[in-house]
Structure 1
Amino acid sequence: MIYISPSPVKNHGKILNSQPLVLASTSPYRCELLSRLRIPFETAAPDVDETPLLGESARETSRRLSHEKALAVASRFPNALIIGSDQVALLDGQQIGKPGNHDNAVRQLQAMRGKTVVFYTALTLLNARNGEIQTEVAENRVSFRQLSDEEIESYLHLEQPYNCAGSAKSEGLGIALIQRMEGDDPNALVGLPLILLISMLKNQGVSLF
């Protein structure tokens, strides 16, 4: 449940930073993750073109887009702390985005089976009040099982993960596709690096306790 309030909020007896918190995303996965911190927040669609630039690495793409998403909503929330995040997957040197449909998802999972995919999840926290910006990238490596075409089809019909980079929802049935995971933050794989976010919020005077 997302609770939205523009006023200072007491959390476990301490006053949080009085700035409103805005998530520059309408992703239900990022909303759910952020709600775990029990801080009131609003959401706003950033409307940013996510096409990679020519010659841009996957890490650079995720970092740039997280920054652009935060900036895209800043004019609407000039007094807020704004969270921007973006995820890019890399397989065999090629960036992998959201499949968008069933056929693309089949091709992605067929290409990923038996291989390791690197997920770069960038996080930006913009203090729109004073212009301070923090940006970091969490990296997670995911090794996929040697999946049959039948397993891929069955999974996609059950999960329909067409708005997830790499077509695998690790927080859902997609965990059955994965043989091994390692990296900076399991939350980042879902879409929002909470470990990094907590540190960034602390730098802005926001205490969770």
Structure 2
Amino acid sequence: MKALPILLASSSPYRRELLSRLELPFECANPDIDETPTPGESAEALALRLAEQKARALATTHRNHWIIGSDQVACLPDGTLLNKPENHDAATHQLARSSGQHVQFLTGLTLLNSETGDIQRLCEPFSVHFRDLLPEEIETYLRKEQPYDCAGSFRMEGLGIALFDKLEGRDPNSLIGLPLIALIDMLRAWDRNPLLPPEPPQTRSA
């Protein structure tokens, strides 16, 4: 498949930093979609829908691109969704509920060819086992990192690692918001290997 410019459908600095690790040129744009769950929608279905919706939202303005859409949903064992807390009180409540719990993070990933309409989609699971957290531990953590823009109320790449007893999954990058191993699989399926130089454009003979 012909390689196209890569567009990350996200304004997240965390996803931007992750994608930059592949050392591929890319652009970023904000898809600006409504992320409200629909009634009865499962966490996996929500993650997949939002990831695809983000990619498709930019397809008309970026017609000849490979567009990456990604969205993460976290849920407690009882199915309760953990969203971005946005403030200290909500983050305190989320971490108190997560204390001692097995929390599942589901990251939807879409790679859309806006030129042909071809699409790849998957949902990458990752599980986090929280320690039994004391109220003062939660308070100290939140005051230090203020992870109010992060699903689950923590930053895994920072002091947030101290909240966990165990992590389970094939790609810890998915916990930050972009499953790089799965994305590399998708790129390779379209003949774009980050470890190999891109094919030179073919020229027509006279």
Tell me the TM-score normalized by structure 1: 0.91
Report the equivalent of 1:3.
Answer: none
Cα root mean square deviation, aligned: 1.1
Query: Which AA in structure 1 matches 2:53?
Result: E
Count of aligned residue pairs for this structure pair: 194
Radius of gyration: which is bigger?
2
Superposition deviation, residue 203 in structure 1: 1.6
Secondary structure of the residue that 2:193 maps to in structure 1?
Answer: coil
Report the equivalent of 1:151.
Answer: 137
User: Could you tell me which of 116, 130, 135 is aligned with 2:116?
Assistant: 130
User: Could you tell me which of 158, 162, 171 is aligned with 1:185?
Assistant: 171
Residue 110 of structure 2 corresponds to residue 110 of structure 1: no
Residue 29 of structure 2 corresponds to residue 44 of structure 1: yes
Superposition deviation, residue 184 in structure 1: 2.8
Secondary structure of the residue that 1:98 maps to in structure 2?
Answer: coil
Deviations 1:102-141 (A, max 9, x none): 1100000000001110000010000001000100011011
Superposition deviation, residue 43 in structure 1: 0.3
Deviations 1:159-196 (A, max 9, x none): 01001100011111100001100013111011001011
Query: Which AA in structure 1 matches 2:51?
Result: S
Residue 9 of structure 2 corresponds to residue 24 of structure 1: yes
Query: Which AA in structure 1 matches 2:21?
Result: R
User: Could you tell me which of 71, 95, 98 is aligned with 2:56?
Assistant: 71
Superposition deviation, residue 18 in structure 1: 4.2
Secondary structure of the residue that 2:188 maps to in structure 1?
Answer: helix
User: Could you tell me which of 158, 183, 188 is aligned with 1:202?
Assistant: 188
Deviations 1:17-60 (A, max 9, x none): 54110000010110010000000000000101111110000010
After the TM superposition, which parts of structure 1 deviate over 2 Å for at least 4 consecutive aligned residues? none
Percent identity between matched residues is: 55
Report the equivalent of 1:93.
Answer: 79
Any unmatched runs of 5+ in structure 2?
197-206
